[in-house]
């Protein structure tokens, strides 16, 4: 998993509440477990005018030019600004895979669905909860090339006019993001202890290892 320390990027404003995981990555793309290749299908039903299918060449698909992700000024955005209850619906981990594969590293919203929120941390994405008033302020301030600087170590967001916004994050999740540790990498930190336990267990119950 990619570590996250700090990021300065323009934001992409997605002014919708209750965006569910089926909107983030529709169900027909869930057959693959590769974790890559999902970025071109992110928000597929809003982004394109036709129906997307797995492994489809998206280079010539008709675009919904009114949808924010297709507007040229947001092409390099790595911060997604959106409304409450982002990631609701089913628990598919493909949703953060698609967001990460597209290039988003930070999502700012007033609230997130619990399972989606947890899945973000497992996939190197930083979900930041701000108050509805703070999110509304960012939407109102947002304009072309509006950049935010996010620093995980200090748990701060800095606006272009040097306003500093603090955010909360669980200490263990913060440390795992800073070090780039997913569940497997975290477990492997105890590799020596695991090997010692397995060796002792084999001596006590050799029939289990025959």
State whether 119 and 202 are in the same domain. no
Same structural domain for residues 22 and 123? Answer: yes
> Which pLDDT does position 136 carry in this prediction?
97
Q: Domain for residue 186, yes or no? A: yes
Neighbours of 7 (CB within 10 A): 16
Asked if 116 and 49 sit in the same domain, the reply is yes
CA dist., res. 207 & res. 6, Å (int): 51
For residue 208, give Cα distances in angstroms to 192, 196, 204: 21, 16, 9
Query: Within this chain, do residues 20 and 64 fall inside the same structural domain, yes or no?
Result: yes
- Residue 139, in any domain of the structure: yes
Check whether residue 85 and residue 172 sit in a common domain. yes
pLDDT value, residue 76: 92
52 and 144 inside one domain: yes
Helices marked H in 68-170 — which ranges? 94-102, 114-122, 132-141
Is residue 40 in a domain?
A: yes
Quote the number of domains for the chain: 2
pLDDT score of 191: 58
pLDDT given at position 82: 98
Residues 79, 125 within the same domain: yes
Residues 159 and 58 both lie in one domain: yes
Question: What does the pLDDT read at residue 192?
Answer: 65
Judge if 153 and 204 occupy the same domain.
Answer: no
Give the pLDDT of the chain (210 residues) as one tens digit per residue: 889 999 999 999 999 999 999 999 999 998 877 778 999 999 999 999 999 999 899 999 999 999 999 999 999 999 999 999 999 998 889 999 999 999 999 999 999 999 999 999 999 999 999 999 999 999 999 887 899 999 999 999 999 999 999 999 999 999 999 998 776 556 655 656 667 677 677 778 777 777
| 154-191 as b/e: b if 16+ CB within 10 A | eeebbeeeeeebebebeeebbebbeeebeeeeeeeeee
Domain check: are 93 and 185 in the same one?
no
* Same domain as 20, residue 64: yes
Query: Could you tell me if 104 and 52 are in contact, meaning their C-beta atoms sit under 8 angstroms apart?
Result: no
φ, ψ dihedrals at 166, nearest 5°: -90, 150
CATH of the domain at 12: 3.20.19.10
Could you tell me if residue 1 is inside a domain? no
Q: Are residues 119 and 192 in the same domain?
A: no
> What is the domain range of residue 188?
181-210
């Amino acid at each position: 998993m990619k570590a996250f320390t700090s990021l300065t990027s323009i934001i992409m404003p997605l002014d919708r509440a209750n965006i569910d995981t089926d909107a983030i990555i529709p169900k027909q793309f869930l057959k693959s477990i590769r974790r890559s290749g999902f970025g071109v299908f992110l928000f597929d039903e809003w982004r394109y005018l036709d129906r997307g299918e797995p492994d489809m060449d998206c280079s010539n698909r008709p675009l919904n030019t009114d949808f924010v992700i297709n507007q040229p000024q947001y092409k390099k955005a790595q911060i997604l600004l959106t409304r409450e209850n982002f990631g609701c619906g089913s628990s598919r981990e493909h949703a953060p895979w698609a967001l990460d594969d597209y290039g988003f590293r930070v999502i700012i919203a007033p609230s997130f669905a619990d399972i989606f929120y947890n899945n973000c941390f497992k996939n190197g994405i930083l979900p930041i909860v701000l108050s509805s008033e703070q999110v509304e302020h960012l939407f109102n301030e947002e304009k072309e090339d509006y950049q935010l600087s996010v620093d995980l170590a200090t748990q701060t967001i800095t606006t272009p006019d040097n306003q500093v916004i603090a955010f909360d994050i669980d200490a263990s999740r913060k440390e795992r993001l800073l070090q780039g540790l997913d569940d497997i990498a975290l477990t492997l930190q105890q590799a020596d202890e695991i090997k010692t336990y397995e060796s002792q267990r084999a001596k006590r119950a050799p029939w289990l290892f025959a």
